Amino acid sequence: MTDLFAARTQMAMSLGFHILFAVAGMAMPLLMVIAEVMARRTGDAAWVDLARKWAKGTAILFAVGAVSGTVLSFELGLLWPTFMEHAGPIIGLPFSLEGFAFFIEAIFLGLYLYGRDKLSPGLHLFSGVMVAIAGLASGVFVVAVNAWMNTPTGFTLVDGVITDIDPFAPFSAAAFPTQASHMALAAYASVAAAVLGIHALGLLRRPDSDFHRKAAGVAFAVLAVSLPLQIVTGDLSAKHIAEHQPAKLAAAEALFETQTRAPLAIGGWPDVEARELKWAIEIPGALSFLSFADFDAEVKGLDQVPRDEWPPVVVTHISFQIMVACGFAMLGLVGLGLFLRWRRGRGAWLDSRLFLKAAIACSPLGLIAVEAGWFVTEVGRQPWVVRGVLKTSEAVTPMPDLHVPLVMFTLLYVVLGIVVVVLLRALFRDATPLAGDEQTTEGAR
């Protein structure tokens, strides 16, 4: 194992682990606030219990995300010192803002958790809203850095030295609007799908559980709103990539030859040596239309990219296919739920065992799609860490034996993952209203 491969593997593992908690930090507070609002409106003890348990779940995920995020911040400096030397002055502002948002989120999460009986109702609810806003902002600030890495701007490169730096450049990067909106909606959709699956399982076991019915209803509503919007932003992202990152699009679609009326590939396995995509279902002209809104438009293939600058085609293509497949499977779940609601009435879809089983099956798909999407974003940019400016091989640390920290951090993530699963299972094992809670409006207050 080369040190470069070890460094890339460790970074990929760290990002892959952390992103699960990042999206939870963006989306869980929204679910928590919705439950809190309903608790205050209705005084229903089930809503009160739901708001409290989602808040505790948010706190657990936030704590582990803080640990994995701290590890990532160290890894940037330890594994990629040349990257930080060149890019640090530019990405410093969004990272600083992300840190500020993190502290805001932590402060208001503490107020929300421990101030229920000590703060006024309005201030307590305001604390929850601030957690949701800060969590979303934190994710958006990090995405700004990645958007700049994909479409760098705001500096002058003179003899390998970056000068004339604009600290706000990440927010004006061409990729920022589509990446930020797509990531935010992906967080809401993926977490909502996971939460829906958890409470669908609870409903299969306890069909009369008001707690699980309310939780599943909120999760489904968030999923039904965010997922179609996410697909729209995905289309906009594809159009942006076709214009600004043609090599990434060519790798994602395994398009080896530049062509007009380019087909959209469904499935298939790229044969890089033969420069062809095998066993794929192709829709003529669809890729040209999705990329440029013109069936006859020319789409650049990998033949327009120097061979040593090709992204890893197999990984990028397969990841892209997984992401799209998961997205449309979740859309099918939303369609099934809306159809059952239309045919059987409000809430009746939660009595359908077919829907509940489908929700359980789809529960991990959003998170899988998020992981696959980041593979497309990161692997599809290779061999560049900052596209067109700095290659990954030039940015890695000269420190040897990088397989040692790789093994150590792998063990850390395994332990953290086990801790999270144990804590969340214990939290939701008993889904009945908390003992001693008032079953009245006073209890919700």
Q: What does the pLDDT look like over 258-316, one tens digit per residue?
A: 999 999 999 999 999 999 999 999 999 999 999 998 999 999 999 999 999 999 999 99
- Rounded Cα distance, 286 and 175, in Å: 23
Q: What amino acid occupies position 256?
A: F
Query: What is the predicted pLDDT for the residue at 177?
Result: 94
434 band by pLDDT with thresholds 50, 70 and 90: very low
Q: Structural domain tally of the chain?
A: 1
Asked, for residue 99, whether it belongs to a domain, the answer is: yes
227 is a domain residue: yes
Q: How far apart are CA 108 and CA 334, in angstroms?
A: 33
At 97-116, the pLDDT tens digits run 999 999 999 999 999 999 88
- Return d(Cα 151, Cα 173) in angstroms, integer: 6
Please check the confidence at residue 172 and state whether its pLDDT lies above 80: yes
Per-residue pLDDT tens for 378-433?
Answer: 999 999 999 989 999 999 998 888 888 888 888 888 888 898 888 888 776 654 44
Residue 445's pLDDT is what? 41
Q: What angle do CA 298, 302, 303 make, to 5 degrees?
A: 85
Mean pLDDT calculated for residue range 157-177: 86
Q: Residues 268, 254: contact at Cβ < 8 Å? A: yes
Tokens matching residue 355:
């829907």
Report if pTM > 0.75: yes
Top-confidence residue, 208 or 26: 26
- Do 330 and 189 form a contact (C-beta atoms < 8 A)? yes
Dist CA 191 CA 63 (whole Å): 17
User: Exposed/middle/buried for 411, CB within 10 Å: 0-12, 13-18, 19+?
Assistant: exposed
- Which H or E run contains 298? strand 298-299
Biggest alpha carbon distance in the chain?
Answer: 71
Q: Is 301 exposed, middle or buried (0-12, 13-18, 19+ CB in 10 A)?
A: buried
Per-residue model confidence (pLDDT) at position 440: 40
Q: How far apart are the first and last CA of the chain?
A: 59
For strand 298-299 and strand 259-260, is the pairing parallel, antiparallel, or unpaired? antiparallel
Whether 145 maps to a domain, the answer reads: yes
Vertex 159 angle, CA 157 and 161, to 5°: 55
DSSP annotation of 302: G
Residue 269 covered by a domain = no
Residue 433 DSSP class: P
Q: Give the contacts of 426 (CB within 8 A, at least 6 positions apart).
A: none
Residue 234 scores a pLDDT above 70? yes
**Residues 262, 268, 273, CA angle at the centre, nearest 5°?**
85
282 in any annotated domain: no
* HSE value, Cβ hemisphere, 13 Å, CA-based, for 426: 8
Q: Residue 429: what pLDDT?
A: 67
Region of residue 345 (left: phi > 0; alpha: psi -120 to 50; beta: else): left
The model's pLDDT over 323-338, given as tens digits with 9 standing for 90+, comes to 999 999 999 999 999 9
Contacts of 342 (CB under 8 A, 6+ apart): none
Q: Is the pLDDT of residue 444 over 60?
A: no
Q: What is the mean pLDDT of the chain?
A: 89
Residue 69 belongs to domain spanning: 3-245+315-444
State the DSSP H helix or E strand holding residue 320, giving kind and residue range, or none if neither. helix 313-344
* Residue 372 lies inside a defined structural domain of this protein: yes
| Chain-centroid distance, C-alpha 109 | 21
Instruction: Tell me whether residue 254 is in a domain.
Output: no
Whether residue 54 lies inside any domain: the answer is yes
pLDDT at 437 over 50: no
Among 69-73, 108-112, 136-140, 332-336, where is mean pLDDT lowest?
Answer: 69-73
Label residue 435 by pLDDT band (50, 70, 90).
Answer: very low
Other beta carbons less than 10 A from residue 393's beta carbon: 15
